Amino acid sequence: MSDNQDYLKTSEGNFRLRADVLALMLKGAGYAAAFCVVVGVFLAVTIWIGTLLPPESQEAPDPSLGSVFTIETTAQV
């Protein structure tokens, strides 16, 4: 059997570089996960607020710019 039990190969010079790169990649993955959680919470809160609205507001026409032009053109006719 070999006496070399340095499985992480810490004696080489590039171990610190690989460890730093791994730490930075995990840090970035953590930031991305936090961002996705924030977006998910924002969407969940928006949907929850939408369910609290009365049914009349949910059946109202869309207040987008295209529907305003449609309303104006039908009002002039």
Note the pLDDT tens digit of each residue in 22-66: 999 999 999 999 999 999 999 999 999 988 888 887 777 766 766
Looking at the 3D structure of the chain, how many domains does it have?
Answer: 1
Indicate if the pLDDT at residue 77 is higher than 70: no
Q: What is the Cα–Cα distance from 77 to 75, expressed in whole angstroms?
A: 6
**28 lies in which domain range?**
15-76
The reported pTM is 0.59
Banded pLDDT at 16 (limits 50, 70, 90): confident
Please count the other Cβ atoms lying within 10 Å of the Cβ belonging to residue 3.
5
pLDDT score at 37: 98
Answer whether residue 8 is part of any domain.
no
Quick check: is 52 in a domain?
yes
